[in-house]
Structure 1
Amino acid sequence: MAKITRETYSWRCSLARKETWHPTWSHSSGDWSVDFRVSGRRIRKKLGLADRGLRDLAIQTARELYREAWEASAKQQPAADAVTFAEAARLYIGAGGEERFLPKIVMYFGPEIQVRDVDALAVERAAGALYPDAKPETVRRQLRVPIRAVQNFALGKRRERIEDTRRVRWLSPEEAERLLASAAQPEKIGLRDPNRETLRKIVFMLGTGAGPGETMALTGEGWNAATREWWLPGTKFVYRARFVCLPERTVSLIGEIPENGPSFVAPNGQPYVMTEALLRNSDCGRFTSRIHAVRRVA
């Protein structure tokens, strides 16, 4: 049996750990390649080593690529050393950050203290001065979280806010009536929808202002027939939790609402599989295509 030296053991352990930058051999391309992320940026490339026997060279090359990627990422990070907390807070608010609790914090730290100097001890002193009798959760929400948000912004770690550029389509009352009339006769426009499920969803959205994703996620537990109110739990990304009051005509056109389980199902009677993309209304393709089909005929 071959003797296992310390160097051999360390090499085998490093292979077993499979570092994120570790190269892999691709049979399809006949080359070594890497696929890793640095600061959220994906780096995926072939190493130009078309020989499976060049494993050691591939590891060395991949390790160097990984090191260079991190060095480049560090150079791209904005230097927060020379930025005052007051200036960072002002820019953070200007970029759409939450302003509510920051003026009080900025006034406490003053115009000279730099972001790098707002360390754990500085935060504790601020907590004692600004919120001496507050509960820990209040201090966290009104002091620690805003400070961390400004620090992350100064270091370039804050996610860029993406504006919603989706087209908004307004319907006149006459257009809405024609839309409902078409949805009530799916067979005439070539839709297989025997239980008028598309009509039920359109009626609910027109009557409440709810979006497609949250409509498909609704269950009967939130419905109060006595008051015609429905509790919409909201979604993580788009809609807030709220009560909506359904007009009498909306209730009449929706028809029977189950006491529990999905309230709005697909035309084939099956419940929708809820995903985050669906709740954001970014994966409602089949349903919206049906609405477009109904609208074209209307």
Structure 2
Amino acid sequence: MLKITKRKGGKSYYVRGTIAGRRLLESTQCERRSDAEIYRQRREAEILAEHTLGRRASLTFAEAALTYIEAGGEARFLRPILEHFGPDFLLKDIGNAEAQAAAEAIYHDAKPDTKNRQVITPISAVVTMAADEGRTHYRRFKRFKGGGARRTRWLTPEEAEGLLRGAEPRLRPILGVLLGGGARTGEALQIGAEFFYPATGEIYLAHTKNGDPRMIRLPGRAVDMLVGADLAEDGALFRTPKGAPYAIRENGGGQIKGAFDRARDAAGLGPDVTPHVLRHTWATWYYAATRDFGGLVDLGGWKRADVANIYRKLAPGDLADRLLAHGWDFRDLGRVRSSEARQAREAAARAEGAEALAACEKDETQRAALRLVKG
């Protein structure tokens, strides 16, 4: 049996001993003896259950979820599920009824799509990984029906122009990356200055939703938005109004919501237009301009073609021409740049040269005046 001990000078109690042929020495992480005693009783019960029934029968959902997270699984929606099931709910006891009951309890008023995405999918992922490791049996979870039509909103080039006109200067280059490169908002806000290559119009996304870094290639219009902006030269490329990097939240975005909403309202667009709509917009624009579905999948960072297919929308036949009319040329990404930025740089250089010449003339005038005074 297990006993409670405390090391000399230590704060936490340990359990040690032999039970069911298993030697054990581990910290309870408890400083009060009464709490440590509860821990000891629970560990004894767990080990005896494993010995009598086998590991499969005693594995809890919490244990399986921890293994899943430590292996790099998506932890975003697991907290409320863990709180719902508690520490002792066995993984083998979670079936369709339990999963759907959890979804109803946690997101009672949510849409079916939300319940599927935030409860059914995470539970299925935890169970599948445990089954892959031989720790439970495989099972399929039914999804809630009635999710309705998929999101179809995307921006026309004309709507996008209105959004850009209404955007604050700090927001405009971010919108350029979203519209021109298809990056997710969280991916764009984590771009390092060293990973923007203006000469080729490329950006390396080191931090992506699915964990696979990728290179995106911007059309000239988007490159110009970045080159012409006052962006950081090291660290995070995009900064808050106070000059700090944007905070990246595990459970959601919202970092640019205020600025985006003001730009959207100024453009006369509805609340259905969110930053994520720009990813749908990019996919629709890119495919309309190139008809390159393979490129769409690769540049968009989707692991499955059917997911990419959801993002590209039905578009009118003249969309490609309208995009070109507004400077969005997706046909030769990473190489072609529009002339606007080059002309702006040349004008700036000429202005700088003119100022230098004027300064020299003033210096020469002053020296001549001083010579006359001395004379």
TM tier relative to shorter chain: 0.3 to 0.5
Q: TM-score, normalised by structure 1?
A: 0.45
